[in-house]
Structure 1
């Protein structure tokens, strides 16, 4: 290389540092001279430069053997450059590891593209059931995922794809098999040892179920694996996960894994998991006699990573900055957040960078994936020369200083917790509890601690329960109703005592435990929901007690359902049920703890129902269409997922935007399909039958009882002809029925009707029809008589008995002066007056109807305001009673003044003969 002005001293250091570099120089001297001449050895390479190098190297190569040779030669040239720079301290650890990772990314992308060509020629393009072209999603794990690759690292990969389906070629195979073949060829192109070496050793053992499982997994299957089978060590592994290739689908897949890794709440269980992993590694170190391993040995690289990762798992859900994959970046964030002392951060960073330099020096020797210090004198001497030490003893002394600092920080972090001071004062707490409990409550506690359920618990779970108990007692004793809180929380404790992660969370989060106790004193309904569905505790522990927003609800449910195959009905139902329950719980928590306004609470509950109905209708339509194809609409156009010609109308509280916690949904289904025309699928059915099956599937998804309960109770009796009528009605048939056959009470029900789901154009047609029906001229006397007749029937069947009324009982909803009286007056206003005041038919909720009646001068402003205030007061109390699982029958004396106001207006508008004298 005399004719090239290559620095002889630097070359000498490079060759002393690496026997592998000697081999590369011997094989590729001319190419290396060219590289040196264009400054490749002296300056860092950008990501783009590395990508361009790979593209230029492989440009227009179609022969596999040539492709594999050229990329291996490029790898050797780049490795020589990186060893040169490292040996001569012309780079730093962060820059070097980033460049190595960039090359790995570029090589993976190139191999993926090259591997696809022959597969498509043989089998066709892989197409998902959703009609979209399927891509191979390559997930980088470990050091490649964090862009911290070593000089001779293997690369940990996981292969995935978005959706199942089939290829469209002559020899069609399913998408999973196509992606498996695709992944196998990618591995071969990079990993296979040829005369020119390899590109990267590929390790696939981090995939779900490890060796022996399918090489590629669908998004849905991966999500199910992580949620049902994901282990604690996999949470650590997935911290570093990064999508190398896969487009938008890859990003969505990675987003799906984040809740598995980073819990919404502060997750103190990570400490215990790390202690167990540390013990496992220590046993492995002893078994394999690898104390001199600078990665796995005491004070090694792995311990620095563990220190960072345990904080990431604990706080990453709450502090987004701690989700960064790179060790040093997250280490700095720990210092910024005050989770580690500044001196500790500095010492750990310094140790980590030195250990990584040592790691590179070890691997440069022979291009081997090892972190063990060499034992041969010559290799030792070469390595310490590269690192700048004069003798082995000086190096070991310096190395041990660095490792000692890591050991100190690591042991300090994972040491067992100090004894809980509450445990020491446990007996005193128990005495205080005894003083506020009656005999039956004391007996319940005694049976709990001496019952069969506790005896069957694992020892670890019993210990956690014993640790949790004094914290629970302390929180209960601070409550204003300690016995009630205890009695309501005991079933919850029993339901979660096997899932001790919840107990740990409540121990560590005093605020969450106090909120739980307060919720228990106010609402047994909330306690029962949490007891029956402990998974809701995940949501409770992470709540910010703000009411959920409509868009967030829509986005959340859409993302959850997007990843479930259309034929996985049980999974769909589970998502729908937990979505509804968790969000209703969030509303209840906001109601109780943040004292949110009634109208906003009702709006939020209505939003949850509407979002659930929309999603369920979409599923029902897709499931039916997948089996039978799409029908035609009434005008002969093909229906589709975006043009369904199907709508859902909400009546009653849903239609009136006034849902409560236990409300069922009054629904009517309307379609705009050609009932005689056939669908375009293989199993053709008529449009009429298609519409019926959509309605039936909707009812099944919503109302089937599972372990997670049901989404909602659905009442469809307000459809034309009631229970005797068809489940789904065409818009035309609905119009004819309402105009020619409907009773006045059915028009009264239509006042509180509102289209809530389905195709927008059909919904708009319904709204126009509704207004046209409601604004028909009517004789006020007939309307008054019919409304009065219906109201009396309800009082007779649902109101308090005469004996109860004499005893001072008032049914908040059904008795005179109650909620229904106000609702009927609003409905009367629409039916009697909207013929001359069409604006009265615009809204479906009582408050705005009464406001519009005042604007139209049909009611005085004072009367409308009085009714609205009475209505809101009574509804607010009904919400409180529902949360408390109490009857709507209350003390009449407490509501005397409100009832008088309502009854006076009832007398004036509806029944002049009604008495105002209320007991």
Structure 2
């Protein structure tokens, strides 16, 4: 059959879209049978022609699906499904019949995928051509996802019952898994390429009945959940049905895939966070017994909606808003219509703010759909009618824009396109003659949303208190950039090093980078510098502080949005000067990682370090926004989290709100939280490739059988700002165990690869540097030993082969991440080893010899010459105290077991004092010296100084340490 050109002179297809449209049309006809090609050509000459042109031009994905499955559009058009909404239940009935004919999981997967593609075509046709309004489109997409989940679950449940029997409660009541939809699916507002956020739960504990083998209900439903995810999410030759995201379940990635109702309720009551309240606002049971599902949601409702007016939600939403805004700046997401200023997320936050504050008292605010909530806010006079009208109009416009963006390639994105053809398609789909007209209307609506958002949620900006006259004077001096005049002005303003500061500033302004800056960027720099120079008048050493800040300014000259951030937030500029005045380390961190400037926006968070639970919660929120498959993004998120929180610790120490012991506690807590996330990522990555290790019965093990031991400063809860991590990995998987994936591994290889993956995630250098430097030399046999030891091998080594120095190291060893059962086994072994009765003379000789060897190897060249004292390795320094403590634990734990309860030096010293093993005055002297040395070490880090002090400092503390060393390690022969 002769192909004819699809386009005619009368067609209104934008010029930029015509070549691609012609190519797709030719490709489609070539793929069709003669009969199908004839139908398409006839369809192109029918009254549906304008709609066909628009669908194929604005959505290459639409054309691609037609090319892969030519019969789909023919069936949809002939049935009238393109022109009329489907009757309630029609989609469900269609898939129920199709899935019933499937005889295996592969057939089910193909059935689901083709069903999804068919209805995606229908929905895109109706959306792009505005046959259906936005509300109908999101409802249709949500119904499609819901039906796919429900029918797949039913089919897989029956399949698994044939294999394992029917799950029942202990009372004999049959059990079904519930699927709870969160986010947009829960609200019935799914977009064209959204993933679906799900949580799985089941009513009661029990076991299967009537099958060839019996398993407990949780194991049954975990396997069912795994199969359901695979049926929906796995990519096959037919693509996928929906991406499934399970990270909103209790404990996130580290939690079990499925939990009982009681466990779910207990989790939210005891550990639920604010962000989980937000997530549950839209939660809805979409599969399983509807009556049982309603009962579960009723049990969870008190966690979401408090009975009182909960104004604390405003601060929580402000915090989330700040986090999102920092992400927008950091990742350049202003073109993201969801996360950028005035985007979909801000409209949602406005609604959620009122829902969380008043939802417990106003049932009308417990609705899930955003447009409905906005209408109720207007009717309840909680928001003015014009504001609601603006928000609803913007929401419709933004969601239609989102659908048009995603229809282009069937990709999960909310970013405005940069390519000319994609821009033309988006503008045409949105009813505009060109991109400029569309962009203008989008900007207007986003501006209105941002304004209303600020009025409802945003905190008022701080007003600058800087002297306007002085600012004008600095402005004039910078414009002239005369070195002598600047030096004189700096001198008059009280700057130290005025001539050097003037020289460096003139060099910056005259440098090639500044000279090449575009007009707006150069204007930002010229506007920023007077503000900075005037703010520096509050510094103790303004000249030196400016010299510290110049590398930061140089680092952002190509990203002047950071200068705007500081100009629009005077409080952030004030904190920048304060911190860099106090610490060159802080200024170097900011220059290396300007994204950390975001942390200066809120002085409350900057000088308020969260506890470990707070760290867990914040990191979880950050990681939830990242695709589990995007390891690079996960690694960057972890690095930013660590850098940001270490900066907060430094700021709090500089500000005097954190004493030494707390500084180390928080730095260690940050490392532990990050390490736990790293282990989870590495575990998930390996399990996806190879399956999880199995127990002796061949079923997936409930345990991970893996722990990470922290030694040294990590084990002793004494991390500093630049400390590396001394780690050892152990596993206790059953002998002969293998993983249950398609590419199985034996347990030893699995855990070796797990260790390798953990080290890679920790130490790989990315844009934000390495997460932590890792030292594995304390594992059995050091660098020549296995990367991951079995517990039995570790136990045998510690009992029969370990050197004295390795038992010294064990004093400061503890489990920092991992399996509780294995952790208990390690703690028992550690106690056993440390309580061995040793020959004290031989022990003392070994410890002293190791100390001297360490001093010779680690004391810097010329270490204590020229009147200097090395804090760590010098005579009477930190390591001398640590070795005395380790000796005491090894020498006396067999008589005083509580000595090995702790891994940190201070509490061990206190234990020695309580048991009278070292006189009270002497232990206090050691404690005081240790705190003084550690304090100086932290100060030296913040000042970027080596750990060398003037020999005239801390003389009393050093003398005490040397005196007690002589008494305990040299002169005392009695033990």
Q: Which residue of 2 aligns with 1:432?
A: 489
Please say if residues 650 and 668 of structure 1, whose CA atoms lie closer than 8 Å, have aligned partners that are also in contact: yes
Change (3 A) 1:356 1:487: closer
- How far the C-alpha of 1:715 sits from its partner, in A, is 0.4
| Match runs of 1:14-29 below 5 Å | none
3-state SS of 1:643 partner: coil
Give me the whole-angstrom Cα distance separating, in 1, the residues matched to 2:286 and 2:522.
46
Give me the whole-angstrom Cα distance separating, in 1, the residues matched to 2:374 and 2:471.
35
Q: Which residue of 2 aligns with 1:773?
A: 833
Change (3 A) 1:169 1:881: closer
Change (3 A) 1:309 1:669: closer
Give me the whole-angstrom Cα distance separating, in 2, the residues matched to 1:118 and 1:327.
25
| Match runs of 1:3-18 below 5 Å | none
Match of 1:849 among 908, 929, 939: 908
Change (3 A) 1:132 1:532: farther
- How far the C-alpha of 1:822 sits from its partner, in A, is 0.8
Please say if residues 622 and 641 of structure 1, whose CA atoms lie closer than 8 Å, have aligned partners that are also in contact: no
Match of 1:836 among 885, 890, 895: 895
Give me the whole-angstrom Cα distance separating, in 2, the residues matched to 1:243 and 1:178.
36
Match of 1:500 among 537, 556, 560: 560
3-state SS of 2:954 partner: helix
Match of 2:968 among 909, 912, 917: 909
Change (3 A) 1:872 1:833: same
Please say if residues 885 and 905 of structure 2, whose CA atoms lie closer than 8 Å, have aligned partners that are also in contact: yes
| Match runs of 1:60-459 below 5 Å | 112-113=142-143, 117=147, 139=184, 160-162=194-196, 174=233, 262-264=321-323, 423-426=471-474, 427=476, 430=486, 431-433=488-490, 436=495, 437-459=497-519
Is 1:686 aligned to 2:743, yes or no? no
Give me the whole-angstrom Cα distance separating, in 2, the residues matched to 1:686 and 1:118.
36
Match of 1:581 among 619, 643, 667: 643
Change (3 A) 1:107 1:350: closer
C-alpha offsets along residues 151-171 of structure 1, whole Å, 9 cap, x if unaligned?
xxxx99666223699997999
Is 1:827 aligned to 2:861, yes or no? no
Please say if residues 843 and 849 of structure 1, whose CA atoms lie closer than 8 Å, have aligned partners that are also in contact: yes
Please say if residues 646 and 669 of structure 1, whose CA atoms lie closer than 8 Å, have aligned partners that are also in contact: yes
Please say if residues 674 and 688 of structure 1, whose CA atoms lie closer than 8 Å, have aligned partners that are also in contact: no
3-state SS of 1:756 partner: strand
- How far the C-alpha of 1:425 sits from its partner, in A, is 2.5
Give me the whole-angstrom Cα distance separating, in 2, the residues matched to 1:900 and 1:523.
30
- How far the C-alpha of 1:178 sits from its partner, in A, is 14
Give me the whole-angstrom Cα distance separating, in 1, the residues matched to 2:647 and 2:142.
46
Match of 2:779 among 680, 702, 719: 719
| Match runs of 1:343-742 below 5 Å | 423-426=471-474, 427=476, 430=486, 431-433=488-490, 436=495, 437-542=497-602, 543-632=605-694, 636=696, 642-742=702-802
- How far the C-alpha of 1:894 sits from its partner, in A, is 1.3
- How far the C-alpha of 1:520 sits from its partner, in A, is 1.1
Give me the whole-angstrom Cα distance separating, in 1, the residues matched to 2:712 and 2:600.
30
Please say if residues 183 and 197 of structure 2, whose CA atoms lie closer than 8 Å, have aligned partners that are also in contact: no
3-state SS of 1:263 partner: helix
Match of 1:899 among 958, 969, 973: 958
Q: Which residue of 2 aligns with 1:870?
A: 929
Change (3 A) 1:329 1:669: closer
Give me the whole-angstrom Cα distance separating, in 2, the residues matched to 1:140 and 1:61.
16
3-state SS of 1:757 partner: strand
Q: Which residue of 2 aligns with 1:339?
A: none
3-state SS of 2:601 partner: helix
Could you tell me the TM-score, scaled by structure 1's length? 0.61
Give me the whole-angstrom Cα distance separating, in 2, the residues matched to 1:843 and 1:462.
57
C-alpha offsets along residues 852-877 of structure 1, whole Å, 9 cap, x if unaligned?
01111101111111110110011011
3-state SS of 1:894 partner: coil
- Unpaired stretches in structure 2, ≥5 consecutive residues: 1-86, 95-132, 158-175, 199-223, 248-277, 288-296, 304-312, 358-368, 393-447, 456-462, 479-485
Q: Which residue of 2 aligns with 1:792?
A: 852
Please say if residues 812 and 890 of structure 1, whose CA atoms lie closer than 8 Å, have aligned partners that are also in contact: yes
- How far the C-alpha of 1:629 sits from its partner, in A, is 2.1
Change (3 A) 1:244 1:421: farther
Give me the whole-angstrom Cα distance separating, in 2, the residues matched to 1:695 and 1:420.
58
3-state SS of 2:970 partner: coil
Is 1:815 aligned to 2:874, yes or no? yes
- How far the C-alpha of 1:134 sits from its partner, in A, is 7.7
Q: Which residue of 2 aligns with 1:192?
A: none
3-state SS of 1:712 partner: coil
Give me the whole-angstrom Cα distance separating, in 1, the residues matched to 2:151 and 2:860.
77
Q: Which residue of 2 aligns with 1:885?
A: 944
- How far the C-alpha of 1:434 sits from its partner, in A, is 5.3
Please say if residues 182 and 197 of structure 2, whose CA atoms lie closer than 8 Å, have aligned partners that are also in contact: no
Give me the whole-angstrom Cα distance separating, in 2, the residues matched to 1:733 and 1:356.
64
- How far the C-alpha of 1:675 sits from its partner, in A, is 4.4
Change (3 A) 1:125 1:136: farther
Please say if residues 889 and 900 of structure 2, whose CA atoms lie closer than 8 Å, have aligned partners that are also in contact: yes
Please say if residues 220 and 564 of structure 1, whose CA atoms lie closer than 8 Å, have aligned partners that are also in contact: no
Please say if residues 539 and 577 of structure 2, whose CA atoms lie closer than 8 Å, have aligned partners that are also in contact: yes
C-alpha offsets along residues 127-180 of structure 1, whole Å, 9 cap, x if unaligned?
9xxx99988777499xx99xxxxxxxxx99666223699997999675799999
Please say if residues 136 and 160 of structure 1, whose CA atoms lie closer than 8 Å, have aligned partners that are also in contact: no
Give me the whole-angstrom Cα distance separating, in 1, the residues matched to 2:611 and 2:183.
35
Please say if residues 649 and 666 of structure 2, whose CA atoms lie closer than 8 Å, have aligned partners that are also in contact: yes
Please say if residues 166 and 175 of structure 1, whose CA atoms lie closer than 8 Å, have aligned partners that are also in contact: no
Give me the whole-angstrom Cα distance separating, in 2, the residues matched to 1:119 and 1:870.
64
Q: Which residue of 2 aligns with 1:92?
A: none
Give me the whole-angstrom Cα distance separating, in 2, the residues matched to 1:876 and 1:740.
39
C-alpha offsets along residues 527-574 of structure 1, whole Å, 9 cap, x if unaligned?
222112222221232334112210011122233334544442212211
Change (3 A) 1:330 1:799: farther
Please say if residues 136 and 159 of structure 1, whose CA atoms lie closer than 8 Å, have aligned partners that are also in contact: no
Please say if residues 825 and 909 of structure 1, whose CA atoms lie closer than 8 Å, have aligned partners that are also in contact: yes
Please say if residues 139 and 245 of structure 1, whose CA atoms lie closer than 8 Å, have aligned partners that are also in contact: no
- How far the C-alpha of 1:731 sits from its partner, in A, is 1.0
Change (3 A) 1:637 1:448: farther
Q: Which residue of 1 aligns with 2:420?
A: none
Give me the whole-angstrom Cα distance separating, in 2, the residues matched to 1:725 and 1:518.
48
C-alpha offsets along residues 270-315 of structure 1, whole Å, 9 cap, x if unaligned?
9xx9x999xxxxxxxxxxxxxxxxxxxxxxxxxxxxxx979x979x
3-state SS of 1:425 partner: helix
- How far the C-alpha of 1:711 sits from its partner, in A, is 0.9
Select between 479-488 and 754-763 the one with higher mean Cα deviation: 479-488
Change (3 A) 1:566 1:879: same
C-alpha offsets along residues 833-869 of structure 1, whole Å, 9 cap, x if unaligned?
1111111111111001110011111011111111101
Change (3 A) 1:631 1:512: same
- How far the C-alpha of 1:115 sits from its partner, in A, is 8.0
- Unpaired stretches in structure 1, ≥5 consecutive residues: 1-56, 65-102, 146-154, 183-215, 222-239, 278-307, 334-344, 358-405, 915-919
Give me the whole-angstrom Cα distance separating, in 2, the residues matched to 1:525 and 1:582.
14
Please say if residues 161 and 218 of structure 1, whose CA atoms lie closer than 8 Å, have aligned partners that are also in contact: yes
C-alpha offsets along residues 718-740 of structure 1, whole Å, 9 cap, x if unaligned?
11111111111111111111111
